[in-house]
């Protein structure tokens, strides 16, 4: 036992680098980009700390140069998945019993490694493997990932200090145990930080994890796994199993010992997983905790008192940063007729300035979309709009996958508030705008609230305070993250905990105490210092 109540270092948001010309960080990052571009990484399955090669080997490529192979990786099959579960369960007792300060130290050290000596490694892997610009990558793979770890430790410490009242002769105390079995984490391609957080958050709380990373984010996720090992993570606590999602569902999701599921991905996938868990509920040894952040059809709503230039800037940045491949990206917008011409001129002019290409060219604002499947899906929406009488493409609309999966930033204007691209998630650089008549405010707000099954992020622009109050109230259920006079993207750990409801997930707010507490199974302990010998109670005495 510890002979002290230790104070966790107070976390602060990791400062970001600019990578402006002439800076040291720009020079070292470019050197690392060149190094990683020139090597071929061999990525194994990692189970119980052992590197395992399988007969199924696949490739990691650059989305912006899809003939350039960055890595070969072994894909886990049924045997490896079962072995990963067994390794996690074997590590469970010793990990849960590790003194809290030592468990915390591992993740605090990992955060310092990420923000320090491995910053360029993580950033370069994310840029090359996920086609992110230096700026977007710095926010993700350096700042947010380090923040997830440092604040995660702090949130755990806060939870442990939530204790019940005690009275004379009685000491009540709460023990925050890990869940009864293991946690399955399935992470997405678009944020290296999410890839790191989904297995780490449960592990910080003392859980053991089977982690299936996205194959299209495998390079950066693999380096993160190696950083955890260097930071001292014991074998078997997190098991790294690149694999097919369907096989994970068959083997791991239905294992009776699965006690938690941490997910970011598509709504349809999460719904299928929820259904599978429901069908197998009688087989589990506990009721699995299901925590998921899924899709979004995120909006920007401009009131007639908004400033047109601010609206235009918010739309362009919100829709096209990281090729619109953010769950929070602005995907639909509602602009009053009175300011439409000014907003239109602004978005068309600014969108035309955006350069699209290889992210190693730091003058590019956008890279490529993640893979061929995404490219085909996104461009099908563009083609649909181009052929429709209800829509007009006023910017972009072109694409080319001959070298990389490049889609030009595209703006569609529709006369139908329920047009296909206004209601369906696209997950690419496509923004659809509906122009509403100023006297149709309430009808348009209803459309904002009801057009989509999602409720992830949304933004309003207005100068009039009464209008802001009204919009905030009317759209209270439309977005879990709601922005006033700002784009609907860019949530920061400990500032804007992230998550939405309705079809967008369980709204457990990644990067907050609300998420961390889902990975505990509290036990109340009552200790009586002066136990009684009495049997009868005073009310039983005769009159």
* φ and ψ at residue 500, rounded to 5 degrees: -135, 175
- Contact of 500 with 293, CB cutoff 8 Å: yes
Please say whether the beta carbons of 426 and 325 come within 8 A: no
How far apart are alpha carbons 331 and 271 in whole angstroms?
Answer: 22
Query: 211 near 240, Cβ under 8 Å?
Result: yes
How is the beta sheet containing 410-414 ordered, strand by strand? 391-395, 410-414, 430-436, 330-336, 298-302, 457-461, 481-484
Q: Which of 327, 350, 424, 425 is catalytic?
A: 327
* Helix/strand/coil (H/E/C) assignment for every residue in 351-395: HHHCCECCCCCCCCCECCCCCHHHHHHHHHHHHHHHHCCCEEEEE
Q: What is the distance between the alpha carbons of residues 89 and 473, in angstroms, rounded to a whole number?
A: 47
Least Cα distance to 211 among 247, 242, 255 occurs for 242
Tell me, yes or no, if 101 is annotated catalytic: no
What distance in Å separates the CA atoms of residue 438 and residue 338, rounded to the nearest whole number? 7
Residue 293 among the catalytic residues: yes
Of 14, 80, 293, 321, which residue is the catalytic one? 293
**Number of other residues whose CB lies within 10 A of the CB of residue 33:** 19
117 CB-contact burial (10 Å; exposed 0-12 / middle 13-18 / buried 19+): exposed
Q: Which residues are catalytic?
A: 293, 327
């Amino acid at each position: 036992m510890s002979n002290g109540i230790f104070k966790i270092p107070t976390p602060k948001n990791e400062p970001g680098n600019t990578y402006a010309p002439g800076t040291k960080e720009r020079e070292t990052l470019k050197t690392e980009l060149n190094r990683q571009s020139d090597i071929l990484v061999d990525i194994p399955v990692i189970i119980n700390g052992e590197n395992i090669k399988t007969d199924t080997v696949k490739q990691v490529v650059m989305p912006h140069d899809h003939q350039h192979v960055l890595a070969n990786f072994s894909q886990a099959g049924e045997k490896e998945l079962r072995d990963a579960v067994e390794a996690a369960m074997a590590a469970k007792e010793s990990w849960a019993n590790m003194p809290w300060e030592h468990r915390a130290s591992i993740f605090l050290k990992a955060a310092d490694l990420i923000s320090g000596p491995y910053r360029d490694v993580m950033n370069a892997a994310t840029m090359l493997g996920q086609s992110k610009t230096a700026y977007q990558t710095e926010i993700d793979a350096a700042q947010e990932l380090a923040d997830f770890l440092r604040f995660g430790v702090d949130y755990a410490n806060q939870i442990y200090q939530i204790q019940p009242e005690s009275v004379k002769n009685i000491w009540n105390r709460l023990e925050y145990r890990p869940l009864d079995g293991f946690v399955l984490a399935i992470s997405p391609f678009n944020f290296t930080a999410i890839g790191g957080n989904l297995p780490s958050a449960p592990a910080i709380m003392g859980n053991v994890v089977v982690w299936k990373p996205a194959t299209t984010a495998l390079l950066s996720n693999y380096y993160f796994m190696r950083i955890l090992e260097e930071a001292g993570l014991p074998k078997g606590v997190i098991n790294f199993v690149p694999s097919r999602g369907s096989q994970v569902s068959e083997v791991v999701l239905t294992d009776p010992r699965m006690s938690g599921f941490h997910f970011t991905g598509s709504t349809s996938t999460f719904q299928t997983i929820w259904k599978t868990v429901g069908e197998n509920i009688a087989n589990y040894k506990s009721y699995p905790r299901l925590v998921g952040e899924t899709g979004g059809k995120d909006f920007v709503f401009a009131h007639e008192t908004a400033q047109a230039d601010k609206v235009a800037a918010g739309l362009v940045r919100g829709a096209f940063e990281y090729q619109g491949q953010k769950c929070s990206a602005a995907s639909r917008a509602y602009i009053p007729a009175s300011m439409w011409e000014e907003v239109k001129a602004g978005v068309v002019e600014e969108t035309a300035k955006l350069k699209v290409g290889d992210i190693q060219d730091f003058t590019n604002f956008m890279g490529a979309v993640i893979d061929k499947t995404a490219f085909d899906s996104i461009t099908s929406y563009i083609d649909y709009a181009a052929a429709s009488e209800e829509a007009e493409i006023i910017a972009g609309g072109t694409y080319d996958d001959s070298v990389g999966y490049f889609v030009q930033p595209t703006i569609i204007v529709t006369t139908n508030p329920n047009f296909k691209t206004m209601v369906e998630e696209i997950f690419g650089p496509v923004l659809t705008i509906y122009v509403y008549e100023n006297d149709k405010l309430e009808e348009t707000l209803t459309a904002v609230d009801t057009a989509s099954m999602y409720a992830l992020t949304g933004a309003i622009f207005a100068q009039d305070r009464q209008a802001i109050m009204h919009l905030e109230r009317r759209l209270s259920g439309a977005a879990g993250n709601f922005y006033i006079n700002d784009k609907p993207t860019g949530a920061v750990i400990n500032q804007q905990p992230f998550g939405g409801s309705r079809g967008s997930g369980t709204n457990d707010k990644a990067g907050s105490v609300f998420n961390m507490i889902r990975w505990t199974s509290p036990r109340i302990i009552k200790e009586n210092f002066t136990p009684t010998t009495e049997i009868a109670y005073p009310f039983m005495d005769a009159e």
